[in-house]
Amino acid sequence: MSKYNLKPEIIIKNVADGFTGFSAIAEKLNKSIAAIKGEKVVLAIESYPGVNYSELRNKLFPLLPASKIIFADDYALSIEEVQAKIKDVITEDRVFGVLSHYTIDQFFHKENIKLAENEIKQTAGLVIVYGTGTTLLVEPDILVYADLTRWKIQRRFKEGMKNWKTDNKDEDKLRKFKRGYFFEWRMADRQKKKVFEQIDYLLDTNVEKSPKMIDGDSYREGLQQVAHQPFRLVPYFDASVWGGQWMKENFDLDPNADNFGWAFDGIPEENSIILNYNNSTKIEVPATNVVFRHPNELLGPKVHARFGTEFPIRFDYLDTMGGGNLSLQVHPLVEYAQDKFGIHYTQDESYYILASTDHSTVYLGVKNGVKKEELVNDLKKAEAGNYRFPDEKYINIFPVKKHDHISIPAGTIHCGGPDTVVLEISATPYIFTFKLWDWQRTGLDGLPRPVHVNHGQHNILVKRDTDFAHKNLISRVEDEFENLTNQEDVKTERTGLNELEFIATDRHWFKESIIVETHESVNMLNLVEGTTVVIESLDYSFDPFPVSYGETFIIPESIKKYRMINIGDHDKEAAVIQAFVRNL
């Protein structure tokens, strides 16, 4: 029987083995240090914000014969100077800021850089320089890049970790995330791209007390191999205020947890990949590293030209089985998103219904004849407190069932109802959701969940009403679809998204097999019916890749065409939903 894989790995071939644990890593670094001739050796550890520096200081550095250790933060701007400089992008809002264009060099005084250079120059033996911005201070003999995933950073925020150059241990986790998303991670990604070719060793710091390291050439070769084969991201699941029991039961999650209301199963900005080197060392790195390194091979030249090194499609799960409604919300129109937050495109999305009951519903669009001023006034009254927003007066509620597909272009009020499992297929700017009404709930942290009627009111389109939704936004599984393929015993249906959205979705039904094209775009897919399919290369360029029910997977554009084979029950059709960027 098929089983959802919670820790998918990507086998990397014909490369060197890596190193696990501080002792093995130190032994390798000491050999590299000894191989360098001269009175001085500089070891630089350039680091992504969020790396546990105390572990490096206490566990790694004592194993290295350092004459001097320099922490880059000590030479950066002060906490007060940094805060003053980024005030324009951080804002006072609890959730939203403005995407930063800062680079790390803007946070170091030139005289401080000179000071560090002189200290290094005057020291013989091994000099270790570490931290974010290390490579500004020195041209190293050996460069280690210490990396970790954004999801691990967010976990550490919850546990009390500070942001870079702050003293905010006890600050609201949403504000910590905001600072990371709008400022730190943008800056760190720019620096990561800049030093990519120079990396001698990649240090995986995700698991405390168990670091892993791979040499730079093997690391780069690993990313090259990823960009030419099907792969999965490492999913993560979390509790929600709306509940959710379906994923717990179907994906073999912790049965003792209260709920798993949402999951990121296909968001490279958040998810990681595990690179398994020769079935030996397993290196976990942000999935965005593949996007940064091989955008043409992964995204395709046309998608790269349009979106740069951003992965434009995301899949995630929203589970309300045994729970309640999602928040009533709207996503920003493109011009609003650009003007207010500096993002390039907005979060157009869709709800693909993966599981349902007789009680499953979605809230979608306003009712015919709704006046925007009245709607917004009631939303503001509810936001102020002691007033229940009369959703039944303003918002449509539609019943849904398995395999229905609901399009939600930006500007459309929407919300998932109870007893529904949604595979959310959308554009990637996932943070830009304006909650309009949240059923008078508080968050799991006990704090009121933020509501943003102030933003939402400028983006609600009341022309997205009942008639519009029926005509343009609701695709029923029983609808008559044109079959887009002439392959025998295969049906390919264009289920969505709406023509206003840049993502197209095809659903493929097949009992035996089907050949699929990438459409000159990276593909993100999910097995929405059946137990197991295998993805095969038409030219033997990659190994057969098995996929189980509910798993999201990625096909790089470089593959062009591939075969999907149903190895489950051949008396029943398998179905795969395929998302790609349409060529307009």
- Say which CATH topology domain 490-581 has: Jelly Rolls (2.60.120)
Q: What number of H helices and E strands is found in the chain?
A: 19, 31
| Burial annotation 539-566 (CB, 10 A radius, 16+ → b, else e) | eeebeebbbbbbbbbbbbbbbeebebbb
Considering only CA atoms, which of 139, 242, 278 is closest in space to residue 200? 139
Between the alpha carbon of residue 388 and those of residues 379, 381, 437, 438, the distances in Å are: 9, 8, 9, 10
Considering only CA atoms, which of 153, 205, 144 is closest in space to residue 184? 153
> What are 382-386's contacts with CB under 8 Å, separation 24+?
382/437, 383/437, 383/451, 383/453
Rounded CA-CA distance 536/335 in Å is: 42
- Say which CATH topology domain 20-226 has: Rossmann fold (3.40.50)
Show the tokens assigned to 229: 């084969």
Coil/strand/helix, residue 69: strand
Torsion of CA 321, 325, 328, 333, to 10 degrees: 0
Q: Where in the chain is the domain with CATH 3.40.50.300?
A: 20-226
Rounded CA-CA distance 234/95 in Å is: 26
Q: Is the peptide bond before 497 cis (omega within 30 degrees of 0)?
A: yes
Rounded CA-CA distance 174/373 in Å is: 30
- Could you tell me where the beta strands, DSSP code E, fall in 259-393? 262-266, 272-277, 281-286, 313-319, 328-330, 349-356, 361-366
Considering only CA atoms, which of 211, 212, 213 is closest in space to residue 200? 213
**Second CATH level (architecture) for the domain 238-278+299-474:** Sandwich (2.60)
Q: How far is CA 568 from the centre of its chain?
A: 30
Q: Where in the chain is the domain with CATH 2.60.120.10?
A: 238-278+299-474, 490-581
Torsion of CA 47, 52, 53, 57, to 10 degrees: -130
Q: What is the pLDDT along the chain (584 residues), one digit of tens a residue?
A: 459 999 999 999 999 999 999 999 999 999 999 999 889 999 999 999 999 999 999 999 999 999 999 999 999 999 999 999 999 999 999 999 999 999 999 999 999 999 999 999 999 999 999 999 999 999 999 999 999 999 999 999 999 999 999 999 999 999 999 999 999 999 999 999 999 999 999 999 999 999 999 999 999 999 999 999 999 999 999 999 999 999 999 999 999 999 999 999 999 999 999 999 988 899 999 999 999 999 999 999 999 999 999 999 999 999 999 999 999 999 999 999 999 999 989 999 999 999 999 999 999 999 999 999 999 999 999 999 889 999 999 999 999 999 999 999 999 999 999 999 999 999 988 788 999 999 988 777 776 778 999 999 999 999 999 999 999 999 999 999 999 999 999 999 999 878 889 999 999 999 999 999 999 999 999 999 999 999 999 999 999 999 999 999 999 999 999 999 999 887 899 999 999 999 86
Strand 532-537 to strand 545-548: parallel, antiparallel, or no bridges (unpaired)?
Answer: antiparallel
